A and B are shown apart, each in its own frame.
Chain A
Amino acid sequence: MTLDFILKHDGVNEKPKGAVLLLHGLTGSPFELKKYGQFLYNNGYDVFAECLPGHGEKFEEIYTVNYQNWLDFAYSRFEKLKSEYKNVFVSGLCLGAVLALAVGMKYREQVSGIISLSTTLYLDGWRLPWYKCFMPIALSTILRFYYNYPECEPHGVKNLKTRNAVKKLLAKGDVGMNDFPMTGFKELLELSAFVRNGVNKVVSPILIIHSKEDDLTSTKSAEVVYKKISSKDKEYIILYDSYHMVLYDNEKEFVFEKSLRFLDNHLKSETNTEDFVCI
């Protein structure tokens, strides 16, 4: 079952305002972005979300990818959209947010804007177990192939009703993985180090949204991004009633609205100034 989705306006009756490339999180799938994507589509944007490499139908695939595969995927999707649209925004959750920043580092002014949700540059959230101190040793030895950190309460969701729904979906295994493989963590941390070292190259407008009570990664990640980026137009919003999955939690409507407003405010005119002819 493919979880990829593309929501496009026909271009004749409804002209899209721009394109939004959505990138999902580690062990997740485009399913987690579906409502968000639908909301942006309903408000005039063409939305593109595909499974990241290693997040396909076979669980084993996650053991064979590296972060370069993720980067190449994000770059190629951005390039494709850029060839078709004037305004291309990149938004992501967790790993997707880190990838969105990487796209911003490479394509700089070409990116119309970045929406970075629950950016995961450090794995320092409160949900991680006490033995996370052994993580460096597990990641750099054969143990990373032995260990999958099980998805457990609160599943990144503060809202109890949503949490139970997520639990049921995860139990089915249709919408994401039930475990976090350490190999995935290793690649995420290597990608995070890559982004931390070059995030100052990001110049496009950016909206950073992070929850104060994020269970997987503390606000430190968002603060580092906010402080280091070179974008003059930057906004950092802290949520107080959500966990990691901000697109599903108590403040999801607020996140949707803020994102839409950000996109609308950063649309470049369809006509370039160079296109004007002086008479």
Chain B
Amino acid sequence: MYLKILEILFGSLAFILLLLMLFRELGITKKLSPMRASDYISSMAGFLLLYIVFAFVLAIFTPIGINKMVMALFGISPFIIGKLVTYKKVRVYSFIQILCVILSLVYVYII
């Protein structure tokens, strides 16, 4: 039961994060004032933080070993991408980050 609630919470956070990232890729932040754009990215940071926390919580509470590993990997993925990203390759890594969030959603709800 608790696991199901955690999964729903994680899924919702991942979905909102995904939308925020996709809208950013579509250029919404360029249409906002600098302060609003700054608020937008800050909320992304907030949701990313929650996404990471819930990925690790799920990794702890999920009973199957492989699932623990995969969820921990999703939790750590933003830091790995953050370590690898360079200014010239920021679009590529943005795409990889979005893909990771989509995969985590698929993993939690379908697999």
Contact = CB atoms under 8 A, between A and B. Distances in A.
B49 A137 contact: yes
Interface of A: 60, 63-64, 129, 131, 134, 137-138, 140-150, 152, 179, 183
B72 interface: no
A134 B35 contact: no
A60 B87 contact: yes
B18 interface: no
B46 to A, nearest CB: 6
Contacts of A138: 41-42, 45
A64 B88 CA distance: 9
Contacts of B41: 138, 143, 146-147
A131 B97 contact: no
Nearest to B36: A150
A143 B44 contact: yes
A89 B57 CA distance: 53
B40 to A, nearest CB: 9
A142 B78 CA distance: 7
B93 interface: yes
A141 B81 contact: yes
Contacts of B19: none
B90 interface: yes
B49 A147 contact: no
Nearest to A132: B42
A226 to B, nearest CB: 33
B29 A142 contact: no
B45 A131 contact: yes
Nearest to A138: B45
Contacts of B97: 142
Size class of the contact patch on chain B: 20 to 34
A186 to B, nearest CB: 10
B27 to A, nearest CB: 12
Interface of B: 24, 29, 34-35, 38-39, 41-42, 44-46, 48-49, 52, 78-79, 81-83, 85-87, 90, 93-94, 97
Contacts of B86: 64
B38 A150 contact: yes
14 contacts: A64-B86, A64-B87, A134-B46, A137-B49, A138-B45, A141-B82, A142-B81, A142-B90, A143-B44, A143-B45, A143-B48, A146-B44, A147-B38, A183-B87
Nearest to B45: A134
Nearest to B29: A146
A146 B103 CA distance: 22
A183 B88 CA distance: 13
A63 B41 CA distance: 17
Nearest to B98: A142
A145 B24 CA distance: 12
B87 to A, nearest CB: 4
A63 B48 contact: no
A138 B49 CA distance: 9
A149 B40 CA distance: 12
Contacts of B85: 142, 145
Contacts of B93: 142
Contacts of B39: 131
- List the 5 shortest-distance A-B pairs measured between CB atoms, nearest first: A150-B34, A134-B45, A63-B87, A141-B82, A131-B42
A265 to B, nearest CB: 45
Contacts of B24: 146
Contacts of A137: 45, 48-49, 52
A53 B88 CA distance: 17
